[in-house]
């Protein structure tokens, strides 16, 4: 099956992802753990079914992807208590480190300049032998 002709200006998801990642300073799971211990907010955006299947990161704030921007925008009435300002360090996890790059880039677009994500996502965290609960 061939892809339909793309309209002018349209980009592939690989291009969008590469552009988003070019604006991030992505980190590995061990660095994410260190930053979490130092006060960064670790955010797990995976669906409940993934957390049920594979476990969760102890202490991580669970905010599924479709709510993330509203929960962290300091100007939003729906923000979480951790959204104290634009200088909050946020480390976003998804399952394998793809949608988390788009999410972290979106948070940066809101002015949260310290937002980033984890290369390899939760699966890399787990493979590194870092703590997991409920697995």
- Please state, in angstroms and rounded to a whole number, the distance separating the CA atoms of residues 60 and 26: 18
* Per-residue pLDDT reduced to its tens digit, 2-36: 778 888 889 999 999 999 999 999 999 999 999 99
**CATH at residue 75:** 3.40.250.10
* Per-residue pLDDT reduced to its tens digit, 46-89: 999 999 999 999 999 999 999 999 999 999 999 999 999 999 99
What number of CA atoms fall less than 13 Å from residue 50's CA on the CB side?
17
Q: How many domains does the chain have?
A: 1
Q: Which domain covers residue 60, as residue numbers?
A: 13-127
What number of CA atoms fall less than 13 Å from residue 92's CA on the CB side?
32
- Please state, in angstroms and rounded to a whole number, the distance separating the CA atoms of residues 4 and 116: 33
Whether residue 6 lies inside any domain: the answer is no
């Amino acid at each position: 099956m061939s892809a339909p002709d793309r309209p002018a200006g349209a980009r592939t998801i690989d291009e969008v992802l590469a552009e988003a990642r070019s604006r991030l300073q992505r980190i590995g799971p061990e660095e994410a753990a260190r930053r979490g211990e130092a006060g960064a907010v670790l955010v797990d955006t995976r669906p409940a079914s993934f957390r049920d299947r594979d476990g969760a990161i102890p202490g991580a704030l669970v905010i599924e992807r479709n709510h993330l921007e509203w929960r962290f925008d300091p100007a939003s009435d729906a923000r979480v208590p951790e959204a104290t300002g634009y200088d909050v360090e946020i480390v976003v996890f998804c399952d394998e480190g793809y949608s988390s790059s788009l999410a972290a880039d979106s948070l940066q677009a809101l002015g949260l300049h310290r937002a980033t994500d984890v290369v390899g996502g939760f699966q890399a965290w787990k493979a590194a032998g870092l703590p997991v609960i409920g697995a």
